Structure 1
């Protein structure tokens, strides 16, 4: 186990301005100053603003030294969390134990994506260095280094029944590996832009991937063949940003930069519904496993709850700034959103009401994850911290 990372207090910054060269000729005139005449230095306004933010979190992890991109809670251990960020590091840490952390070292660029295997035994970390690393979730030891993609990893996902990991890359490819054997199983080629989102279907039989090339591809994992390519009218006209697959593996919901949301039948590859109400890029989408609802979050400051039976908006949930991420709180009627204003909000999807707002972050929320026992919600932010909020009342 590695030593715990340093805890950084607000206001600690590394100065990195380089050297400044001046000549004697640059001197206009010299002024003699008595130290006692110098005014006191006030804390900068940003620090003052941060100090005024109420903090509703029960735990703050401050091991990172730059903005955070990813959070993942273990599906089997209610206190185990992984976070990754722009400081090229990932950490495994425990909720409520500020003195315990294991560094996931070795990446040479930002750690942008994290995912635990379904059995909770392994953790995959994907980085902009083009490498996926596999970690033992219990010990924090490195188990495998999976390489092959020529550019950064956009996302990582696990097969629902096995140690098979899938990753989409900025080099237009999707890779699938056997994590136990550190062996490549297939490479999926066909996209002509960065593969921005993707996943296995819950039954494990199919792969869906979305790309900056404005297409959705549906793949056969065994053969590597592209079964369907969804493109053109009435589909997206700009790059896809996010997708979600229904629990019965029949439908995939996709959002894109062009403000549009579409639902595709996975078996036929046909667009079966289009959900049009947003006015800016779609950043996150979700399908409820308990209700016939979809949810879509956009930079237009709105979360829209959709009635899928009528393809119509059920409720519009207003935010102060763009909606950047969302997560279901188990199979309950509650949903959490992360926002550009640094707030985490909990919504009742039946009423459309905001039932709780969590404060504490001072910058954009970039990821959310729920603990295995659904007692805790973990958020990561551009402010460099991960925060834990208690959500046991929203089951």
Structure 2
């Protein structure tokens, strides 16, 4: 039961800006969470910290320690990125359009509406008010769009919608004569999308600037110091500075100030205020009617990357404005573009497509290419070894993901309508998908092709799918003709049509032990079918309400189904009797829609389960539906063990339990009245209608919001994780790997000291049993590695059967992480020899552990096979060289 959130799949990017930290970590916002992608290891994880609404801006400190996130409600989180811990919170009064750390990491610049605020960077210490406002600039006539610091963290160049870019000094002005008013860069005809400082490579001081406007123009600015243009001073008596009362003397033709307060270092710090800026050149990007939507600048390479609203991006060498690359990613606008620290990689994001790309411009190759589902995910399916996860959505696509890395490695696009059901066959190399386009397709996951299409004489809409254990028989249920169609996998021919239901068949599943097919329908019945004998319905279980879904226990001796009144019924499919009933309407209830005028207690919407899934050992069941909760029930005792809250995102509807009546007007809720069209202007508008015709998140037709719900639940065969297809994406929950004290057969003599003493006295079998009773991972691994290879058979035989499951789990973990592969495999072999009969007789209880064991062995086998095949000729050469010697 110790599950916690691990990752979010199905949507690598949804809007906002992306950041590359430490040159290899790509951070991108996904709803109210942040995804972290390791570009070297090709792995992605999602931070467990949630914002109260969708995240719009993120920034990372120069050393990669701190992460700052700002959501749509102007609430900010300050996060310790390596520890994945939330340190501080703060709320801004205006919408934040840009945020950036200073190069020295001491300050944070925040563009809040028309104000530019500079805050001191909080530290690790616990404080009541960690954020300290250092300075505020109110020089702008419209919203600020971009911020950039100079390399020494002294000045900022800030772009705005008032068609200007201003250069501001971080420190307050102390000498009016010495320091001039911050300079304004004028002459733009459209919004300044981005503004950057350029540096002198010799002095590392800002000496130029670039501004990019929305109408596809780039302005290059140069800086000239007053000291360079000042005429030589006339000889004579030293003058007096009336303001600062400081002596000005002539020292070799250069004026210098003498005095105890201002020295050469302070004079060097204020150099940008003692000169003027002038326009050097103006260049156009020549993109027709397209607009600039994203831009970034790399000081070391003096290069600018620009993304346009037509999906094209350009890479330009400055200051000559030489176009190095001009490529098209898609037809949709690019909403983020950023360099990494070295400047060899470019990261691009397209919010409308959920697309995230990392491109190496020198070799012209992709480092990362990921794209999520265009619409909500309808169905998920685990492979039998728990390594792969398939998802199907309303965008007509089927995607297959590697669970360990979180990456999608193949997208199947042959369906022409929404994908409604998925199923892996027993070999893991075949995936079945059902769709509303009237076809069921079989996919070869070795060659990534569609090798079989199952159709019906007249077009039907399939909403459920099942296949027997051998994978030879495929069944699909329909929503329009209320029939179940049966095909042969080998020939693709239609074998039978099962009729009897009087409403859509939304639940379909074969028994894990025999060829009995269970189907659930909105006609308030669950029917069992003997598919091979063709005798029709064997058994019918009647209910008082519509049956929404059905699931078999892994041993095939129990059948669970949920009904429209929030009940979960458990049937004995062999004797045909009702075993248990769970009342779940109160457990799943919670959350009111923004348009609801009834209280949550008086509303019946969402108080039922649309997806059920048994655990690997069949002891508990997961249930989810049109709610923000996923419920876990103990079947034998009919009690709720735990309730998972899948999101805290207030940008979704149905998250709040109580609504504020002050926000309800005659025209509807205030939150649904959108009078700001800035999102479309900034390039983050979303698709308005889906394939099924209903309005989707962010629709401009009714300004509605997506409703939180769980469409599909699946537990991994290993029992170590489960996934939920929700409105926010596919949430992956895994068993918490942190230590939890859960001992077995404890007494006063079972201590870590006793384990160490037994190891010192070479009582290896006793030490291992004591560590298993303590259930301490570190002690178990220590005892396993203390055994010599020659003693493994005798130690494996001495293990009592009741500790066998814990030892198998430890070996599975070691197979995934330990480099001593042969040693652990030797342990596995001897354990199977010594306890083979017990494992076979108790396979149901040991099933999750055995699945984890099998998964680890299969993964290592595949990795070794790939490594050997890629080095086959090198090995042959080395062997032949050794043979000659």
What is the TM-score of this pair, normalised by structure 2?
A: 0.32
Check the 8 A contact 1:203/1:248 in 2, yes or no: no
How much has 1:250 moved relative to structure 2? 0.9
Whether 2:448 is the aligned partner of 1:182: answer: yes
Counterparts of 1:143 and 1:359, CA distance in 2: 29
Check the 8 A contact 1:252/1:265 in 2, yes or no: yes
Counterpart in 2 of 1:73?
Answer: none
The 5 A counterparts of 1:101-250 are 104-105=370-371, 107-137=373-403, 143-190=409-456, 192-212=459-479, 213-231=481-499, 235-250=500-515
Counterparts of 1:388 and 1:124, CA distance in 2: 16
Shift of the 371–217 alpha-carbon distance from structure 1 to 2, 3 Å rule, reads closer
Whether 2:531 is the aligned partner of 1:266: answer: yes
Q: Counterpart of 1:3 in 2: which secondary structure?
A: strand
Counterparts of 2:714 and 2:487, CA distance in 1: 27
The 5 A counterparts of 1:23-102 are none
How much has 1:130 moved relative to structure 2? 2.1
Shift of the 127–266 alpha-carbon distance from structure 1 to 2, 3 Å rule, reads same
How much has 1:139 moved relative to structure 2? 5.2
Alignment RMSD, CA only? 3.6
How much has 1:150 moved relative to structure 2? 2.2
Aligned match for 1:303, one of 568, 579, 583: 568
Shift of the 89–201 alpha-carbon distance from structure 1 to 2, 3 Å rule, reads farther
Whether 2:553 is the aligned partner of 1:288: answer: yes
How much has 1:343 moved relative to structure 2? 3.2
Q: Please state which structure has a larger fraction of its residues in strand.
A: 1
**Structure showing greater relative contact order (alpha-carbon pairs closer than 8 Å, 6 or more residues apart):** 1
Check the 8 A contact 2:378/2:725 in 1, yes or no: no
How much has 1:122 moved relative to structure 2? 4.1
Rg larger in structure: 2
Whether 2:614 is the aligned partner of 1:342: answer: no
Counterparts of 2:454 and 2:543, CA distance in 1: 33
TM-superposition CA deviations, 1:337-359 (whole Å, max 9, x none): 224443333333334x1141314
Q: Counterpart of 2:485 in 1: which secondary structure?
A: strand
Check the 8 A contact 1:134/1:145 in 2, yes or no: yes
Q: Counterpart of 2:529 in 1: which secondary structure?
A: strand
Counterparts of 1:208 and 1:196, CA distance in 2: 11
Counterpart in 2 of 1:30?
Answer: none
Counterparts of 1:369 and 1:222, CA distance in 2: 27
Counterpart in 2 of 1:327?
Answer: 613
Larger deviation, residues 381-390 vs 217-226: 381-390
Counterparts of 1:224 and 1:355, CA distance in 2: 44
Q: Please state which structure has a larger fraction of its residues in helix.
A: 2
How much has 1:365 moved relative to structure 2? 3.3
How much has 1:295 moved relative to structure 2? 0.7
Whether 2:55 is the aligned partner of 1:6: answer: no
How much has 1:181 moved relative to structure 2? 1.4
Check the 8 A contact 2:376/2:729 in 1, yes or no: no
Shift of the 384–128 alpha-carbon distance from structure 1 to 2, 3 Å rule, reads closer
Check the 8 A contact 1:377/1:390 in 2, yes or no: no
Shift of the 130–170 alpha-carbon distance from structure 1 to 2, 3 Å rule, reads same
Counterparts of 1:123 and 1:2, CA distance in 2: 24
Counterpart in 1 of 2:785?
Answer: none
Check the 8 A contact 2:513/2:555 in 1, yes or no: no
Whether 2:643 is the aligned partner of 1:358: answer: yes
Check the 8 A contact 2:503/2:523 in 1, yes or no: yes
What is the TM-score of this pair, normalised by structure 1?
A: 0.68
Counterparts of 1:389 and 1:377, CA distance in 2: 7
Check the 8 A contact 2:553/2:618 in 1, yes or no: no
How much has 1:382 moved relative to structure 2? 4.1
Check the 8 A contact 2:517/2:531 in 1, yes or no: yes
Shift of the 310–118 alpha-carbon distance from structure 1 to 2, 3 Å rule, reads closer
Check the 8 A contact 1:5/1:103 in 2, yes or no: no
Shift of the 387–354 alpha-carbon distance from structure 1 to 2, 3 Å rule, reads farther
Shift of the 148–385 alpha-carbon distance from structure 1 to 2, 3 Å rule, reads closer
How much has 1:221 moved relative to structure 2? 0.6
How much has 1:367 moved relative to structure 2? 3.0
TM-superposition CA deviations, 1:152-199 (whole Å, max 9, x none): 211222221141121111111111121221222111111642111112
Aligned match for 1:276, one of 536, 539, 542: 542
Counterpart in 2 of 1:74?
Answer: none
Check the 8 A contact 1:343/1:357 in 2, yes or no: no
Q: Structure 2, unaligned stretches of length 5 or more?
A: 1-23, 33-50, 57-72, 74-84, 86-351, 357-367, 586-606, 647-654, 656-707, 743-844, 849-885
How much has 1:284 moved relative to structure 2? 1.7
Counterparts of 1:112 and 1:2, CA distance in 2: 30
Counterparts of 1:134 and 1:340, CA distance in 2: 25
Counterparts of 1:129 and 1:182, CA distance in 2: 19
Counterparts of 1:367 and 1:314, CA distance in 2: 25
